[in-house]
Structure 1
Amino acid sequence: FAGGSLIATFIQGMTVGALVEGLQFTNGEYSGGAVGWLTPFAVLCGIGLCLGYALLGACWLVRKCEAGVQRTARRQISRLAIGVLAFLVIVFAYALAEHLPILHRWIDRPYLLVFPAIGAIAAIVLALSIVDHNDYLPFYMVAIIFASAFGTLALSFWPYMIPSVITVDQAAAPQSSLVFMFWGCGVVVFPLMLIYTLISYSVFRGKVRATDGYGH
């Protein structure tokens, strides 16, 4: 399970890295070959996302656990946070050095800087909460950092699914499929999933203690 999660996260990060760096297309068709997307930048993004998700998981363990598990997770938070920070610095330096197209979008759309600003504020609060040994704030701050990062990417790519090649409208399913998904999944399934998630969080709220067991 751990290995599968690690591979899935790494591939997700590599996919984002390949899209940010840009894929090779000719006449609207991918022409980069079987491994044209496999670049050092994509690998770096894969490693960075693994570090980020590990940081999120460590913060969750601190929030939910006590005693030895919490102490072990708390020690990892500082190391993982430094790793994520180093990753972000390297990625930004690479983007500047290689003049990645996404930087031009940030210049053309200065409002995009709102999301990095939110992430920076969350990072400062995260650092302070780590120093104060706060059990709850680190998880929420890392979640905000991820939300701001994905928000920045989404608005940087818009209106494209694959930057400068395929727009959201071009990638969308046929109208009949979208209508079915809206009524079948959006109106019926999604509310049920939301209710299930809320009930699950309510049942498992609070910390997991050593004295807790089946039936308690």
Structure 2
Amino acid sequence: MPRRMEALREISQAGLPFAVPEPLTPVTRFGERTAVAVSWIDGEAQPEGQGDPDQIGKLLRAVREVTVTPRLRQLLNAPREKGWAEVLAEEVIPRLPDRWRDECRTRLEAARDLEAVPDALVHGDLCGANVHWSRDGQLIGVLDWDQAHLFDPAIDAALMAWHGWDTIRKAVDPETYRRARIYDAPFDVGHLVGVLDGRPLANVEGYVRSIVGWLEKNA
């Protein structure tokens, strides 16, 4: 948590056109638990499937265009340097039911083999309750940067498909949309971020069960 709070301080000072929670206290330990107070962000989430493409496009551009300082690069995971796809290929694909293995391996290879783009700040959980809007649909702030990392900004575009893929198609350029769909295809971009943010897969079997549920639902 201390490292995540340092990253949050860096992000909150990046001049983003919306509010970002700021740490208000030092990180406190309670046995094996840690806690910290952060500033309050007003507003509320939009319902799933709703959203203004213009507002969503501005949000995605603002995050993508944050200057990655040397300090921010030191604090955040950079998946491209860590063999992220190999982790999934070795630990997850073999545990999938037979009917899904070949298809998911093909989809994962397509994501892995996307032409590289410069690393940018990626929020990593940019959907639902983590994005707060005013009652008239204006962006107020973005919460929960715990899964922030440095990678392809198309990841955040895929996460914002909470608002609907048709909305995302209108919010971003065609190439970002194409990449977002490819990252989402193997087993949902929300699961993918579980590897991209740098934290180890502590419960691989539970992770696989969740992926299988998503695959069955979207078959």
TM-score, scaled relative to structure 1:
0.30
Q: Which has the higher strand share?
A: 2
Larger radius of gyration: 1
TM-score, scaled relative to structure 2:
0.29
Say which structure, 1 or 2, has more relative contact order (CA 8 Å, 6+ apart). 2
